[in-house]
Structure 1
């Protein structure tokens, strides 16, 4: 009898431990930091496919978008932040709200699909944003650009989605060297970062976008390979992003995997451990 009671007590303690761990993880992810694994190449070369980072949720305060989404199609799980905290959606406000700065790399919820995106904030409320000849214009003034060499990568399938990079010198064969022109862009306020060019395309020349109050304009650093605010969300792009849709700021890459899974430690990139995000 004593043995059965001891066994029963052990099971109860195990359940308590698991529940407490889940609660702690939930609080950590909801209020402090959210893990994020870069799935696409829209932010190269600032962020590479396979970079793993934690998003600082304290930077901008909290809204409905701060609630975690739990999506695991393999197990039929699709719990969205809207399902948990949707009651707080719609007022475009935040608790303990902080103002994002131009040049921040931000994770936000897509205004239509609700999926998490990561892009660079280039346009603040009231700004007039335009692309002209591949050069970003903010309030009628082109940003400063300086040559920064060439970005090189191997032309092969990348990440779990097996995405192949687009190349300025392409197409190149499997295993060939894929190149893109790299420039250093300096935004108003002084934030400098790398951008890449692949080709001349429609997104290099746009109309003037006037950013509404309480909204922000985002672009990918890999300018010719990014679905961002240059395309309205009703047309499959991102459009203007409401303040309440911001999840947090990305400050540092923790580690990076060049393979199909972040668990393949033998594919981790040795030069990206704890790398600051510029």
Structure 2
């Protein structure tokens, strides 16, 4: 969590608003509250494996979301709807094992909490016990308030998610910006419901920046934006988008910080050429008799 005016610098655990320690301190939900109070921006990225989790953790990213976006980026699905709990748990376990500092948040996939508070709690317990996640995230505002309340009352931190909710893509009619015009009041009602139910933070996805700023100013809990402008308390991106691994069109709110697809394509092409030409492996890459 870094001051908006601070220059880019090497990872520094002390920038987390908590007491310094000899080693990296685990980000906790109380640090999200302190960041909101002190005007410090919260940083998040998705992660689905131990290697990216380790890199992002070393970079000082505050929380890692093992999102059901793995359906699009790892599992080959067109949407997040088919993703199951059993598919996400091994990914979340790998991320949690690799992240020494970042808070690890696991998504509750579609169909794993909608039936009611009991189902939501049972799914959350699986992610906490089997994946060793530190918190869970679920979509929906007013409609999910009772699920959030039940999970939080059992001692499991919950991050909310309102605005465009990918699991409801078909019901919403596609990737459509939420909260415009008269829909702004419904978005505010969702935000209040998530907060009142006990969530420690809420994701605002594909929301006009004006209403996102209004929600952020009204709520006591931090808001995490993705396509919601810069008035939120933090930001999150899908890592394959921000690193340039995603091919084709990406949302306008994505800033690409690298071109990993080009790097990997070049490396794989050169490897193939070296194998075909017989120049790999060379003598230095082979064992002697």
TM-score range, shorter chain: under 0.3
Question: How does the TM-score come out when normalised to structure 2?
Answer: 0.23
Structure having the larger proportion of residues in helix: 2
Bigger relative contact order, structure 1 or 2 (CA pairs below 8 A, ≥6 apart)? 1
Identify the structure with the greater strand proportion: 1
TM-score, normalising length from structure 1? 0.23
